[in-house]
């Protein structure tokens, strides 16, 4: 195998990512964040598994999108078998600002920010809206 072959295959893979995957900027309870690529057709349950593996977190009990301007957030039901793409496309009009890509449209990849918190994190208001409402 040549490095030219590798470069060609790698470039093809990168070009395919926007068609097949979303990238999530996952914000941990500590405030640190990391990009996690997830297939668009993956279920929310699969999304939780991938995030847990990549961030080395076993106990993810809440994922939510947040509207930065209003601080309203929308919990994602973790046991949902609906695809990530359907979940994002299914948000009501009032929730849309919370699920907008976080970088300008001139980037090739859509990056969405999601937040994690655990039961000890009191900064999250548990009376928030549910993403499927």
For residue 40, being part of any structural domain is answered with yes
Total domain count, the chain = 1
For residue 63, being part of any structural domain is answered with yes
Q: Which residues of 40-77 are buried (b: 16+ CB within 10 A; e: fewer)?
A: bebbbeebbebbeeebeeeebebbbbbbeeeebbbbbe
For residue 3, being part of any structural domain is answered with no
What's the longest Cα–Cα distance across the chain?
Answer: 56
Q: Which domain holds residue 60?
A: 18-130
pLDDT of amino acid 25: 96
Give φ, ψ of 29 to 5 degrees. Answer: -55, -30
Which residues of the chain fall below pLDDT 50? 119-128, 132-133
Q: Residue 89, exposed/middle/buried by CB under 10 A (0-12, 13-18, 19+)?
A: exposed
For residue 112, being part of any structural domain is answered with yes
CATH at residue 26: 3.10.20.90
How far is the C-alpha of 34 from the C-alpha of 115, rounded, in Å? 11
pLDDT tens-digit series, residues 26-63: 999 889 999 999 999 999 999 999 999 999 988 888 89
Rounded CA Rg of the chain: 16
């Amino acid at each position: 195998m040549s490095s030219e072959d590798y470069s060609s295959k790698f470039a093809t893979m990168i070009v395919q990512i926007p068609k097949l995957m979303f990238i999530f900027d996952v914000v941990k309870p500590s405030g640190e964040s990391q990009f996690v690529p997830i297939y668009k057709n993956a279920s929310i349950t699969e999304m939780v598994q991938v995030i847990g593996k990549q961030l080395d977190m076993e106990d993810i009990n809440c994922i939510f999108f947040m509207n930065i301007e209003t601080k309203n957030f929308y919990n994602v039901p973790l046991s949902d078998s609906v695809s990530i793409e359907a979940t994002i496309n299914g948000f009501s009009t009032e929730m849309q600002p919370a699920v907008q890509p976080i970088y300008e449209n001139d980037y090739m990849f859509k990056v969405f920010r999601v937040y994690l918190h655990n039961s000890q994190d009191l900064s999250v208001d548990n009376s928030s809206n549910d993403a499927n409402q």
